[in-house]
Amino acid sequence: DAKTTQPTSMDCAEGRAANLPCNHSTISGNEYVYWYRQIHSQGPQYIIHGLKNNETNEMASLIITEDRKSSTLILPHATLRDTAVYYCIVTHYGGATNKLIFGTGTLLAVQP
Amino acid sequence: GAVVSQHPSRVICKSGTSVKIECRSLDFQATTMFWYRQFPKQSLMLMATSNEGSKATYEQGVEKDKFLINHASLTLSTLTVTSAHPEDSSFYICSATDRASNQPQHFGDGTRLSIL
């Protein structure tokens, strides 16, 4: 599976949009981009995933560049409860039966 | 939404004890389950993949005789840490997915294991 690179940490003001970048320059054509987050001492929570089109759900939006070498997770109105480590993971089709390899992620700290 | 339950959430026991952790999918059939371990201030590390009705596939460096995995039904997988020692103390997390519906993996809330 392709490797991802994320900033170690980011700050965001409460109520503002949080934009979390991820580089995956070695992604292959059949690999998806998945985002999970982990709040302290809990299991990871699925956020969103995509192949090449931008995706949006009730939690977030995922913007994937045209060359698919990078993506951005957008939390439109960050709250204090969004403080967590956010993981960007690239894995083969569906990710359902394929293992997820977690990197170090981005620690997002939402400030009041 | 998909719910994965893990039990117990925390366990403290003496060195040499074997500890069993359960992972259940509550509202879907989990054809595949994964077990992870996470040490403090580190990321999740995949230990093994288990498909219902077959033997688990272990990641390199994970002792299969130390960490016994059973996935006998479509809603339950168990991880048994045999003869646990203090170095086995960690946060153990399972995830589950349904191959047929191609759902993303959903995670349990983890089990914090402390070996004295």
Q: Report the C-alpha gap between B68 and B82 in whole angstroms.
A: 7
**Interval A55-86: pLDDT, tens:** 999 999 999 999 999 999 999 999 999 999 99
The beta-carbon neighbor of A96 closest among B93, B103, B108 is B103
Residue A30 binned pLDDT confidence (cut-offs 50, 70, 90): confident
**Interval B72-88: pLDDT, tens:** 899 999 999 999 999 99
Residues of B in Cβ contact (< 8 Å) with A43:
4, 6, 93, 95, 107-110
**Interval A92-103: pLDDT, tens:** 765 445 788 899
Contact B43/A44, CB-based, under 8 Å? no
pLDDT beneath 70, residues of chain B: 1, 99-102
